Amino acid sequence: MINTKDILETITMIQDEHLDIRTTTMGISLLDCCHSDIDVVCRKIYDKITKYAENLVKTGEQIEKEYGIPIINKRISVTPVAMILAACDNRDAVKIAVTLEKAAVACGVNFLGGFSALVQKGFANGDKELIDAIPEALAVTEHVCSSVNIGSTKTGINMDAVKLMGETVVKSALATKDKNCIGPAKLVVFCNAPEDNPFMAGAFHGAGEPDCVINVGVSGPGVVRAALAKSKNLDLTGVADLIKRTAFKITRMGQLVGTEASKRLGVPFGIVDLSLAPTPAVGDSVAHILEEIGLDCCGAPGTTAALAMLNDAVKKGGVMASSHVGGLSGAFIPVSEDAGMIDAARNGCLKIEKLEAMTAVCSVGLDMIVIPGDTSAATISAIIADEAAIGMVNSKTTAVRVIPAIGKKVGEELSFGGLLGSGPVMEINNVSPAKFINRGGRIPAPMQSLKN
Amino acid sequence: MRAVISVIGKDTVGILAAVSAKCAQYNINVMDVTQSVLQDMFVMVMMTDISKINIAFADFVDELSELGKEKNLSVKVMHEDIFNAMHNI
């Protein structure tokens, strides 16, 4: 029998502490949509997505109602489009992006990910065409998200792709300069990209995945912070234990919603992504957890250690709560999407170099960071290379999602609205890495032993 | 199938009667009721059997939420499984 205290705890978590299911994402394989004629491909893609995901939003809303837990986003991820594009005679990737947009709107989802290419070792047919089309594709669509994997622990880093992606980020910002540079906010550059990630903008449906699958991403920074606020005198052993127990409860919600959605949609259940995903709402911030643990401001010395502990405890608690774990699984630190991070960046306590260090101990990377609009493509490429190197050497996923704010300088603000939030333009080191980036080639895969 | 009805807010006359009347109207059996006052807030939790409910469950959720709004209370109806999942292994 459930007792009243437990019932009230759950209700308080949902009502006052922003506990929610961040996303249920339906992964759909497009491999059977390949055809030499791109118009046929577009038709097949539209038909398949709208057929499979027809009831995704409706089912999510039913579950929300019955269980009383909000499911904030319903999303779709598809096979990396570059793989489908490879078969076409005319590789006009923008055409496919527009088709994906139409399908996303028809299904009522708020994002569709998978305008992607995997080029960690080199470019296959379709890859370059897709990357070249990213700026236009993200400018003419609203819901389509793009990602490119440029490195992995097993392959090393494709520095030609790194160079290309730095340029693509700049072009993408320029192409959307009248829309608050929203383009690069929908573009993620990965190292070790997971194939079952339900979170945007980096979600895509990997080639090893089944035809269709439901993945769930949980959230709940507010719940963790509230639990810590009630237990002020714990030592760090106690803090870690409390985070574990809280993460367990949060993740059980994800497991329940995932299995229920999978049953009702008749689609296999993939994974729960054990993540603390913040939103710009007050009380839903990962930075505030770190501050609750004892830092005056996120970014202060001690931030990396506190975050490492938080990230590890979330995983330990979450793993036991779910049958299959995958995706990014860790605490997210997107600057513009986290009220505490925004404040810390504004007051100068949180700098990009500290953020880079933090990404070595948590998921995912330099995420939603607004940088000056005049930052060179080579500098952005170098930021990508640094971040990819951290991922490659530490066998973890890292990513870069920086937004050059065209026409803006350090200290000014850029606002996207909604879940993407807003953020101050952060200062970056502008000493030129151009010669390094222009060398091209590949950084060889790292040693997996002699770990020092 | 069981559902939990929770009522949280300022104590007023007739809360229990109003919620029970809705349950009776839609053929929902109230199995257990606990009430308490926490920091000036009235808290009532009802365990109900909804297996013979004669209205769509989602509509019942809406109707009680409306009732709550009228009386300035938070009234929630949630499937029992969410609490089982979170608090029982």
Per-residue pLDDT of chain A (452 residues; tens, 9 = 90+): 678 888 988 988 888 888 899 999 999 999 999 999 999 999 999 999 999 999 999 999 999 999 999 999 999 999 999 999 999 999 999 999 999 999 999 999 999 999 999 999 999 999 999 999 999 999 999 999 999 999 999 999 999 999 999 999 999 999 999 999 999 999 999 999 999 999 999 999 999 999 999 999 988 899 999 999 988 889 999 999 999 999 999 999 999 999 999 999 999 999 999 888 898 887 889 999 999 999 999 999 999 999 999 999 999 999 999 999 999 998 899 999 999 999 999 999 999 999 999 999 998 899 999 999 999 999 999 999 999 999 999 999 999 999 999 999 998 999 987 778 899 999 999 999 999 999 999 999 999 888 77
3-state secondary structure (DSSP) of residue A435: helix
Q: Which of B36, B43, B76 is opposite residue A68, by nearest beta carbon?
A: B76
Contacts of residue B55, Cβ cutoff 8 Å, sequence gap at least 6: B26, B63
CATH fold of A217-440? Anaerobic Ribonucleotide-triphosphate Reductase Large Chain (3.20.70)
- Domain ranges for chain A, please list them: 24-191, 217-440
What is the model's pLDDT at position A282?
A: 79
- Which residue's structure tokens are 């808290």? B43
- Which residue's structure tokens are 């029998």? A1
| Strand partners for B45 | B6, B34
User: Can you read off the two tokens belonging to residue A171?
Assistant: 């072009």
Cα separations in angstroms, A449 against A156, A394, A427, A445:
15, 11, 36, 12
List, in sequence order, the alpha helices (H) in A17-126. Answer: 38-52, 56-67, 81-85, 93-107
Window 318-337 of A, Cβ < 8 Å to B: none
| A69 shares contact with chain B (CB less than 8 Å) | yes
Q: Which of A8, A62, A68 is opposite residue B82, by nearest beta carbon?
A: A68
Contact list, A67 vs chain B (CB under 8 Å): 78-79, 81-82
Cα separations in angstroms, A401 against A28, A75, A188:
24, 19, 5
Handedness of CA A428, A431, A437, A443 (dihedral sign): negative
**Among the listed residues A248, A192, A189, the one whose alpha carbon sits nearest the alpha carbon of residue A218:** A248
**Among the listed residues A282, A251, A295, A361, the one whose alpha carbon sits nearest the alpha carbon of residue A17:** A282
Burial level of A178, CB count in 10 A (0-12/13-18/19+)?
exposed
pLDDT single digits (tens) B42-54: 889 999 999 999 9
- Looking at domain B2-87, what is its CATH homologous superfamily? ACT domain (3.30.70.260)
Same fold, A24-191 and A217-440: yes
| B2 shares contact with chain A (CB less than 8 Å) | no
ipTM of the complex: 0.88
What is the model's pLDDT at position A53?
A: 96
Residue A99 is which amino acid?
T
Distance CA A242, CA A35 (A): 53
Distance CA A234, CA A250 (A): 21
Q: What is the DSSP string of A99-126?
A: HHHHHHHHHT-SEEEEEEEE-SS-PPTT
CB contact under 8 A, B84 and A2: yes
Distance CA A335, CA A142 (A): 21
> Does domain A24-191 correspond to CATH entry 3.20.70.20?
yes
DSSP label of B77: E
| B85 shares contact with chain A (CB less than 8 Å) | yes
What is the model's pLDDT at position A65?
A: 92
What is the model's pLDDT at position A1?
A: 64
| A5 shares contact with chain B (CB less than 8 Å) | no
pLDDT single digits (tens) B4-42: 999 988 888 888 899 999 999 999 999 999 988 777 788
Relative to beta strand A187-191, strand A144-152 is parallel
Relative to beta strand A71-78, strand A21-28 is parallel
Distance CA A155, CA A348 (A): 37
Distance CA A41, CA A30 (A): 9
